[in-house]
Amino acid sequence: MIGREASSAVFPAISPATYRPHPLHASDRAWPETNCYVDLWIEALATAGLIPEAMLGFTLVQDFEGDQFTFFKVPLDDLERLYGITCAELTLYDSVENHVATQLDRGRLCLVEMDSFHLPDTAGINYHIAHGKTTIGINRIDIGGRGLEYFHNGGYFALSGEDYSGAFQHAVEPVQRWIPYTEIVRLPAASPTPDHQRRVADALLGHHLPRRPAANPLATFADVFPGQVGRVAERGIDFFHLYAFNTVRQFGANFELLASHLDWLDADRFAEEVAAARTISTTAKTTQFMLARAVARGRFEPLASALDPAIEAWDALFAGLDAKAG
């Protein structure tokens, strides 16, 4: 794919054909993919030889925002403390491609907002079907050959040709193009040791714990859930998928990652809390199936108590963490 006008690659040894996702994206997990931003960080960190599980303490602070659960994203300060990674917004005054190529030649991964309509890895969901905002991590670009390789969701992929032109809006006049939010990722000259990552992760757990929501967000959600579902059912299956992604999937994936974080940090010390976080995650999965049936049949009564196990598990989880890590 890469021709003579290709940029350097931040990670030159990897290829979409042979890439293997990190175990946090294993197919046997309840939520093999979480959200685009966290997922690409998991894969980029693992590719850099760092420990993705170390960054996941921030999942403690997820809240219900009234119409959705927090779209959880790793704080940039956490990345710097854990790994020595710094990020900065990239100002775009030239073409996105030229800026990306320049930064890749300097050894900087580029995180770029894209329309998933043009991303082949979303086949069957958005690819050439529907438009959606997402973030990819570009590792290699070939401007002349119209191709790039990128991290997205739970893997590493390539696109080329018309998909490349669509992703970079070649058919749109330059003054009318949407300007994507773009970040550059500066990796450290030397990777921190696993011991350093574990020590900092333990400290960040104590930092994030008091930042959790003041009230149980799952109980708050349960109070409005039945009413919201009735309105969702009136808007068809496509809207159902959007609603489910931003509610049950977001908190389910969030707490499965928290379970993995606590298990990595100290499996013996946090055994009960790992179990509680997994209960929240599996309850979200069960609720998603129940939600789909309820919308299809127009019967919402079974949803009234669907979240009860997760509500109880959230209380137990934070009571345990307060006692052990507060």
pTM of the model: 0.94
Give Cα separations from 179 to 112, 134, 174, 278 (angstroms).
10, 13, 10, 39
80 and 182 together in one domain = yes
Residue 4 pLDDT > 60, yes or no?
no
CA-to-CA distance for 13 and 53, rounded, in angstroms?
23
In a domain, 244, yes or no: yes
Answer whether 310's CB lies under 8 Å from 220's CB: no
Domain boundary among the residues 186, 204, 239 is at: 186
Partner residues linked to 158 by β-bridges = 149
Pairwise CA distance, residues 7 & 139, whole Å: 9
CA distance 64 to 55: 21
> Strand 133-142 vs strand 108-115: parallel, antiparallel, or unpaired?
antiparallel
- pLDDT (mean) for 276-290: 96
Q: Is the pLDDT of residue 7 over 90?
A: no
Mean per-residue pLDDT, 170-190? 94
Judgement on whether residues 166 and 254 belong to the same structural domain of the protein? no
How many domains does the chain fold into? 2
pLDDT of residue 79: 98
Residues 145 and 286 placed together within one structural domain of the fold: no
**Residue appearing with tokens 């990239």:** 90
Beta strands 147-152 and 182-186 are unpaired
- Domain-terminating residue out of 120, 151, 186: 186
Whether residues 141 and 71 share a domain: the answer is: yes
Are 153 and 284 found together in one domain? no
> 26 falls in which pLDDT band (50, 70, 90)?
very high
Q: Are residues 166 and 232 in the same domain?
A: no
User: Does residue 6 belong to any structural domain of this protein?
Assistant: no
Regarding whether 280 and 172 lie in a shared domain, the answer is no
**What average pLDDT score do residues 171-194 get?**
94
Q: How confident is the model at residue 302 (pLDDT cuts 50, 70, 90)?
A: confident
Q: Which domain holds residue 221?
A: 213-325
Say whether both 67 and 170 belong to one domain. yes
Looking at residue 79, what DSSP letter applies? H
- What are the E-state strand segments in 143-234? 147-152, 155-160, 182-186
Pair 35, 144 in one domain: yes
Averaged confidence pLDDT in the chain: 94
Answer for the pair 187, 10: CB distance below 8 angstroms, yes or no: yes
Domain holding 46: CATH number? 3.90.70
Residue 109: both structure tokens together: 């991964």
The SS3 call for residue 89 is strand
Residue matched to tokens 């021709």: 3
- Scanning 134-193, the segments in alpha helix (DSSP H) are 162-167
- 98 lies in some domain: yes
239 part of a folded domain: yes
pLDDT digits (tens, 9 = 90+) for 53-94: 999 999 999 999 999 999 999 999 999 999 999 999 999 999
Q: What is the DSSP letter of 193?
A: P
- 242 backbone φψ class: left, alpha, beta (φ>0; ψ -120 to 50): alpha
Q: Which pairing describes strands 86-89 and 147-152: parallel, antiparallel, or unpaired?
A: unpaired
How high is the pLDDT of residue 5? 63
Sheet holding 108-115, edge to edge: 86-89, 182-186, 108-115, 133-142, 147-152, 155-160
* 164 alpha-carbon distance from chain centroid: 23
Other C-beta atoms lying within 10 Å of the C-beta of residue 45: 23
Cα–Cα dist 175/289, whole Å: 45
- Give me the pLDDT at residue 281, please: 98
Task: Flag whether 17 is in a domain.
Answer: no
Q: What are phi and psi of 62, to 5 degrees?
A: -60, 140
- Token pair belonging to 257: 């990652």
Q: Please name every residue paired with 152 in a beta bridge, in sequence order, or none if there are none.
A: 155
Residue 192 lies inside a defined structural domain of this protein = no
